[in-house]
Amino acid sequence: MKGYAGFGATGYRDGFDQGRTDESYVEAQMTIHVDGVNRFITTPEHQASIRGVILCDRLGGRLPIRRGIFNIFVDEGDPTRKAIR
């Protein structure tokens, strides 16, 4: 994934616009590892691990993701909406 990041912005649209103006890019290159498909599907957190890198000059260049956690289709109380964390 990659996109613009507005450092110091207070909202999504402001952050996008500021990042685009400043040419502040953030890119995430990730590998998601599911340890047991049955557990992943049946637990409400739908949790997996992530490894990879974040690429962003404003944050110091190439930053490793060593022990990231990924959740997808997480119930947040509204049956028509699910979260990705």
Global pTM? 0.70
Our count of domains for the chain comes to: 1
Mean pLDDT (the chain, rounded): 90
Residue whose entry in the numeric block shows the structure tokens 């990705």: 84
Are 55 and 43 in contact by the 8 Å Cβ rule? The answer is no
Question: Which residues does residue 73 pair with via DSSP β-bridges, in sequence order?
Answer: none
The identity of residue 17, as a single letter, is D
Distances (CA, A) of 43 to 16, 32, 59: 34, 17, 34
Distances (CA, A) of 50 to 6, 34, 38: 24, 9, 18
- What are 51-80's pLDDT values in tens digits? 999 999 999 999 999 889 999 889 888 989
Domain that holds residue 25: 2-83
